[in-house]
């Protein structure tokens, strides 16, 4: 080899080593959904559920899940300003966790066996019940069986509508929309006859000023929905979040959040559930 070739080889090797070091530095981002910033924590919530998780027009976030998530983040060492809120639609929640796009999810996330195969759950932190919302002037739906041959709306990825069709009203006509707000518009415009999901979510919608007097809850307790905090499978966060939830109940914060977010709708909530106990 002549000197020119040797010099080129040395320079190429040095460049490759530099690139390798740079790549290693870039990849060492701390893991999780925080994007490498140890001060940040990324939390998945709903953006379109009043009383649960709502992104307001001015860009702030409100709701029971927002308050719970903020409390958990504080117990994990993060100020509210450290939280990066990310929309977690029903159909996307497992994927967001599996990809590490979020650190945890608090998004009216009912614990069930199928989901537990893919992600882990801390909690539960709220026991809700499946119900229906109908138009205030509609007296044709007084029991679950009345949903037969009715257009029943829920969102893609939610188990609510399928529960009704499988167990209570096999002839219900399922209409799956992208979000609950779309179902609500369909209900108001008579494109659908009923919207089904958890009573806590429905109460939040019914309590909005623009909808007061237009809708009513059916009052059906068609299932038990144990809300959990979703984390990656095998994540150590599960135990830390459970500790935070226990503290939240003990210090009275849980009751404060329930009254703040559901009180205006006269929502008859269940007592705080015992952490780790799933009500079937």
What average pLDDT score do residues 128-140 get? 94
Q: What is the pLDDT of residue 226?
A: 96
What average pLDDT score do residues 231-248 get? 98
Strands 173-177, 194-198: pairing is unpaired
Taking the complete model, does pTM exceed 0.85, yes or no?
no
pLDDT tier at 195 (50, 70, 90 boundaries)? very high
Q: What would be the CATH architecture of the domain defined by 41-127+225-265?
A: 3-Layer(aba) Sandwich (3.40)
pLDDT digits (tens, 9 = 90+) for 15-70: 444 444 344 433 333 334 444 467 999 999 999 889 999 999 999 999 999 999 99
- The CB density around residue 130, as the number of other CB atoms within 10 Å, is 27
Cis geometry, peptide bond prior to residue 124 (ω within 30 degrees of 0): yes
pLDDT digits (tens, 9 = 90+) for 270-280: 999 999 999 99
pLDDT tier at 173 (50, 70, 90 boundaries)? very high
Please answer whether residues 83 and 69 qualify as being in contact, where contact means their C-beta atoms are separated by less than 8 angstroms: yes
Q: What is the pLDDT of residue 180?
A: 81
Q: Over 90: is that where the pLDDT of 8 sits?
A: no
Please answer whether residues 97 and 232 qualify as being in contact, where contact means their C-beta atoms are separated by less than 8 angstroms: yes
pLDDT tier at 120 (50, 70, 90 boundaries)? very high
Please answer whether residues 56 and 68 qualify as being in contact, where contact means their C-beta atoms are separated by less than 8 angstroms: no
Lowest mean pLDDT among 97-106, 114-123, 199-208: 199-208
Q: What would be the CATH architecture of the domain defined by 128-217?
A: 3-Layer(aba) Sandwich (3.40)
Delimit the CATH 3.40.190.10 region(s) of the chain: 41-127+225-265, 128-217
Average pLDDT over the chain, rounded to an integer: 86
């Amino acid at each position: 080899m002549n000197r020119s070739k040797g010099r080129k080889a040395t320079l190429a090797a040095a460049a490759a080593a530099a690139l390798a070091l740079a790549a290693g530095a870039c990849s060492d981002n701390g893991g999780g959904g925080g994007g490498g910033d140890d001060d940040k924590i990324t939390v998945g919530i709903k953006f379109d559920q009043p009383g649960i998780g709502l992104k307001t027009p001015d860009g702030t976030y409100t709701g029971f899940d927002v308050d719970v998530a903020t409390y958990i983040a504080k117990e994990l060492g993060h100020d509210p300003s450290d939280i990066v809120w990310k929309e977690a639609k029903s159909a996307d929640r497992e994927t967001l966790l599996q990809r590490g796009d979020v650190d945890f999810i608090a998004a009216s996330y009912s614990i069930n066996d199928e989901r537990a195969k893919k992600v882990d759950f801390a909690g539960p932190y709220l026991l809700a019940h499946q119900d229906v919302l109908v138009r205030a002037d509609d007296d044709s739906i007084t029991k679950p069986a009345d949903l037969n041959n009715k257009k029943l709306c829920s969102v893609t990825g939610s188990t609510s509508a399928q529960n009704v069709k499988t167990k209570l009203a096999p002839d219900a006509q399922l209409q799956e929309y992208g979000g609950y707000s779309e179902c609500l518009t369909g209900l108001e415009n008579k494109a659908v006859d009923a919207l089904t999901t958890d009573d806590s979510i429905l109460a939040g919608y019914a309590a909005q000023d623009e909808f007061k007097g237009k809708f009513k809850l059916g009052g059906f307790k068609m299932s038990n929905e144990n809300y959990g905090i979703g984390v990656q499978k095998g994540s150590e966060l599960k135990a830390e979040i459970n500790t935070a939830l226990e503290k939240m109940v003990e210090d009275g914060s849980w009751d404060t959040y329930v009254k703040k977010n559901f009180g205006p709708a006269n929502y008859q909530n269940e007592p705080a559930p015992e952490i780790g106990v799933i009500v079937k």
